[in-house]
Amino acid sequence: MLRNEHAANDALVWLLPASGWHRKGLDTALRALATRPEHEILWVAGGDAPAPWQARVRAAGVEGRVRFLGRRADMPTVYAAVDGVVLPTRYDPFANATLEAAAAGRAIVTTRANGASEWLGSELIALDRADDAHALAASLARLADADERRRRGSALRERARQLDWPSHTRALRAEYASIFERRAAAR
């Protein structure tokens, strides 16, 4: 239904789910999208005002291929409607959107500046530089293959399942126990 609403039935839809669009690399995503086929579009979800970005959309030559969805209360529905997630962030200790996308089984392209890239492993594509539109476009080209997206998305979903609170609590307790043991042994 969401794809119908945004005339995206036959499109390959990438999602940039974020606020603070400059820091999250929307400019890089626009430049990368400009080099990709016309049937690929970008949905941008988040609370920033789209008006300042319209000039960049025009400058990139991707008018009609970018939809600003605004802040959404139904993000699980949005994730289910897209083919993959792009988040070429300049800095983010751990972008929640990355874990949400993984839990939804979506292929993800982000950067090493996103702390989540360390947790989610090699199935997530992590670019070295947030401003590298060519590397982002090349990653999108890899993910244009539906089997590749499904394989990566499935592996990311499984990894996200391992990042639940009980597992996190066990790991944190084990780390603290190790610290206390080392301190006690040093006395």
- Judge whether residue 176 has pLDDT over 90: yes
Whole-model pTM? 0.89
CATH (domain of 43): 3.40.50.2000
- pLDDT (average), residues 160-170: 88
Q: List, for residues 111-157, the tens digit of each pLDDT value.
A: 999 999 998 989 999 999 999 999 999 999 999 999 999 999 999 99
Helix ranges (H only) for the chain are 2-5, 26-34, 51-60, 75-81, 96-103, 116-120, 133-143, 146-161, 165-186
Per-residue pLDDT reduced to its tens digit, 72-93: 999 999 999 999 999 999 999 9
23 CA to centre of own chain: 13
Domain count, the chain: 1
Q: Integer distance in angstroms from the first to the last C-alpha of the chain?
A: 64
Whether residue 61 is predicted with pLDDT greater than 90 in this model: the reply is yes
State the residue range of the domain holding 51: 2-186
Asked whether residue 7 carries a pLDDT value surpassing 90, the answer given is no
